[in-house]
Amino acid sequence: MPSIGDRFDKLKFHIELTKSGTIARRYFVIGAFDGALTILGVILGAYVVEGNLHPDLAKQLIIAAGLAGGIALAVSSTVGAFEAERVEHVLSHQQLEKAMLKPVEGTRKEAMRVSISVSAIVHGIAPLLAAFVPLVPFFFMSLDAAVLTAIVMTLGFLFVLGAYLGSLIKEMIIYTGLRFVIAGLATAIILILLGEGT
C-alpha cells in the first residue's frame, strides 16, 4: 500500500503533467472574485431596502441569503468547472489519440482525472470562502457596524487577491490590488444607488 508521501508525490506529478496548478489558480481567482462581489451585493441590497425600517429583518435576510448564495455559488462553480474541464480534457485526449493513431491509457489518463477534480474543488471552495467571510460580523455586531465591517473586509480581500495576481507578473501590487478594490467600490455604489431608487 502506497504511503502518504508516495501519494502526495504522485499527485504533484499529475498536477505538473497537466499544468493543473495554473488552471486551479485561475479558477480560484475567478471563484473568489465572484463570491466576494455576489455576497457584497446581497449585504448591500438587504441593507438599503430594509436596514432603516427593519434592521433585525435585514440581518436575518443577509445571513440567510448570504449562506444560501455562498452554497449555491460553490455547487454551481464546482459542477461548472468539473464539466467544462472534463469536456476540454476529453477533447484534448481524443486529439492526441487521433494524432498517435492509437488509444492512450495509463498515466496521462489518470493525470487528466486528477486535473479535472482539482479544478472543480478549487473553483467550488473559492467562492464559498469569499462568500462566508463577510457574513461573520452579522453574527456578532449591530447591523450598521456589521455592514461597514463586511464592506471593509470584502475590499481588503479584493485588494489581497489583486495584489497576489500582481506579484505573479511582477506588476506593482498596489496597482493591481486597487484595480480589484475599484471594481468592488463601483459595485457597492451601483447597488446603493439602485436600492435608494426602489
pLDDT of the residue at 71: 93
Percentage of the chain modeled with pLDDT above 70: 86
User: Is the predicted pLDDT of residue 145 greater than 90, yes or no?
Assistant: yes
- CB atoms under 10 Å from CB of 109, counted, come to 12
- The answer on pLDDT for 185 being more than 80 is yes
Q: Note the pLDDT tens digit of each residue in 42-101.
A: 998 888 888 788 889 999 999 999 999 999 999 999 999 899 888 887 888 778 777 776
> Global pTM?
0.82
Report how far residue 63's alpha carbon sits from residue 136's, in angstroms, rounded to the nearest whole number. 9
For 27, the domain range is 10-142
60 within some domain: yes
pLDDT for residue 79:
93
Does residue 197 sit within a domain? no
- Whether 4 is in a domain gets the answer no
- Is 152 contained in some domain? no
Which residues are CB-neighbours of 135 under 8 A, at least 6 positions away?
A: 39, 43, 62, 63, 66, 67, 70, 150
How confident is the model at residue 93, as a pLDDT?
Answer: 72
Cell of 141: 455586531
195 contact partners, CB below 8 Å, separation of at least 6: 44, 45, 47, 48, 49
Q: Which helix (H) or strand (E) holds 153?
A: helix 143-168
- For residue 182, being part of any structural domain is answered with no
- Asked if the structure places residue 21 within a domain, the reply is yes
pLDDT greater than 70 at residue 8: no
- In the predicted structure, residue 9 carries a pLDDT above the cut 70: no
1 within a domain of the structure (yes/no): no
Say whether pLDDT at 39 is over 70: yes
Q: Could you tell me the pLDDT band of residue 16, with boundaries at 50, 70 and 90?
A: confident
Domain count for the chain, please give it.
1
Average pLDDT, the chain: 84
The verdict on residue 76 lying in a domain is yes
Cβ(166)–Cβ(67) below 8 Å? no
